[in-house]
Structure 1
């Protein structure tokens, strides 16, 4: 990471994204968070921007603002996600479109926006947050899992195109994680059932995911690209 390098994190206002923002600040990055909302209190060293990442024009404007400080944009983390529980048979088309618009098109919009600067610098690190649900799919989430599978495919394909430019791209796939959103919406018995399937018998925390993202953005990961790093306590083993 170059001195004063900037990182962009989508979905950085809360949950796993907020933990990633905090970790990258500790790693020395200037961080811009792109989200539909901003935290109630300003965060030191963080540029909080309201941005719907499914809108390419909004993403381009936000990335331009993030790039206006000292140092290049050296890292991108796409953590924003849209998730609604629904049976495939009764799924509303608008939910399908929004799921892919945020999870897949949003990721593509972000890469397109940061790519010129990374190409010019001859270096860059990109991480897409996917999901371990691809490997053991639960019911009522076909649309969400399909979107995360598409995002994984994008990572693998872009690794081929971006590698010659000095840019790496990898996926980090969390399992069930104790975010405020999950704790409010997921029954305690489901958390317990997931722990029973894991090799490590505790619930994952947002900081667990942020630590792996930090590694994937680091110089130590310079020879790794196109990979999916599972962070689910060993629930999935591939």
Structure 2
């Protein structure tokens, strides 16, 4: 079997933002990467199989995991895809509640059910679920999104117990407000300033900050770390 640092990685939401930064970091570490996303990158990426996939659809996930196997033994799974929509809870469209859970939580469930047997067969693996510091510092208008991230936090803890005997670690990375292209376009600069005023490190978080944390958790160096949530929010939460 190939060493874990050269195994195939599946990254959801890998076309843009944090997901794209994770793809780049894993490629630099030697992983072939299958990126599952509704969006497509601006240009082809060497060593990356970009698969158009709606993470709310189980059948599409199954096909995508099958395609990822063409790159080699799957050893790393990173679920970064997320549907995020801000609205007061009492005004939330049930369709947005539903899609939040179908992409963020059900997407993780179907992906892991499809790919974990590959990791078990190999006797090792790394799983990282991208959650959110909003679970620890909850802003208004995001209760539905925070609920999905809480579910993923619990999933990481539970699965770490189930999969540890198979040599598979399961962790979560919880980003704070991150200056991705989408966030900068849609979130007022005043909100970035407010968040930075609460941080111990007074700058905006960058996608590479999150990718660096993921790169550690999927590396051989993190073989004794599992069931944990790593906050990458400049110290805003300080839990």
TM-score by length of 2: 0.97
Tell me the alpha carbon deviations over residues 70-95 of structure 1, each in whole angstroms, 9 at most, x when there is no partner. Answer: x3111000000000010000111000
Which sections of structure 1, spanning at least 5 residues, go unmatched? none
Give the 4+ runs in structure 1 shifted more than 6 A: none
Pair 1:115-2:113 in alignment: no
Aligned to 1:95: 96
Distance in 2 (alpha carbons) for counterparts of 1:212 and 1:49: 24
1:5 is displaced (CA, Å) by 1.1
Pair 1:53-2:55 in alignment: yes
Distance in 1 (alpha carbons) for counterparts of 2:104 and 2:200: 29
1:68 aligned counterpart, secondary structure: helix
Aligned to 1:17: 19
Pair 1:189-2:190 in alignment: yes
1:4 is displaced (CA, Å) by 4.0
Say which of 64, 67, 74 aligns to 1:65: 67
Contact preservation (8 Å) 2:157, 2:228? yes
1:40 is displaced (CA, Å) by 2.8
Contact preservation (8 Å) 2:159, 2:170? yes
Distance in 2 (alpha carbons) for counterparts of 1:101 and 1:67: 24
User: Alpha carbons of 1:3 and 1:140: their partners in 2 closer, same or farther (altered >3 Å)?
Assistant: closer
Aligned to 2:76: 75
Contact preservation (8 Å) 1:54, 1:109? no
Contact preservation (8 Å) 1:132, 1:232? yes
Pair 1:139-2:127 in alignment: no
Pair 1:226-2:220 in alignment: no
1:163 is displaced (CA, Å) by 0.6
TM-score by length of 1: 0.98
2:87 aligned counterpart, secondary structure: coil
Contact preservation (8 Å) 2:5, 2:219? no
Contact preservation (8 Å) 2:156, 2:227? yes
RMSD value, Cα: 0.9
2:70 aligned counterpart, secondary structure: coil
1:237 is displaced (CA, Å) by 1.1
Tell me the alpha carbon deviations over residues 142-178 of structure 1, each in whole angstroms, 9 at most, x when there is no partner. Answer: 0000110011011111111111111110000000000
Aligned to 2:159: 158
Aligned to 1:33: 35
Aligned to 1:8: 10
Aligned to 1:105: 106
Question: How many pairs were matched up?
Answer: 237
